[in-house]
Amino acid sequence: MANHLTPTELADELQMKRQEVIGKCMEMGVPIFHGRIDRSLFESSLRNLMARRGQEQASAAQQAAA
C-alpha cells in the first residue's frame, strides 16, 4: 500500500471529497509535496483534530450546563 497519495487517491480511500482533503491539509498544516500527501501524517492529524474538536464541544456543553 502506498503511503504518499494524490489528493484524489486519498479522498477515494477515506470516503471524502478531493477539495475536502485539500482543505483539511491546509487547516492542519499537512504538506502537499509534489502533488502527494503522506497518508499516515494526514490520518493522524485528522484524528487529533477530531479529538480536539470533541473536547472543545464537551467543554462548551459543560459550561453551558453550569
Residues 23, 48: Cα–Cα separation, whole Å: 16
Q: Which domain holds residue 49?
A: 4-65
Number of domains, the chain: 1
CB atoms within 10 A of CB 9: 16
Q: Tell me the pTM.
A: 0.84
Q: Looking at residue 46, what is its pLDDT?
A: 96
Compute φ and ψ for 35, nearest 5 degrees: 75, 15
Q: Is the pLDDT of residue 1 over 80?
A: no
Sheet holding 36-38, edge to edge: 4-5, 36-38, 32-33
Mean pLDDT over residues 5-21, rounded? 97
Give the chain's count of helices (H) and strands (E).
3, 3
Q: Looking at residue 2, what is its pLDDT?
A: 73
pLDDT, averaged across the chain = 92
Residues 40, 63: Cα–Cα separation, whole Å: 35
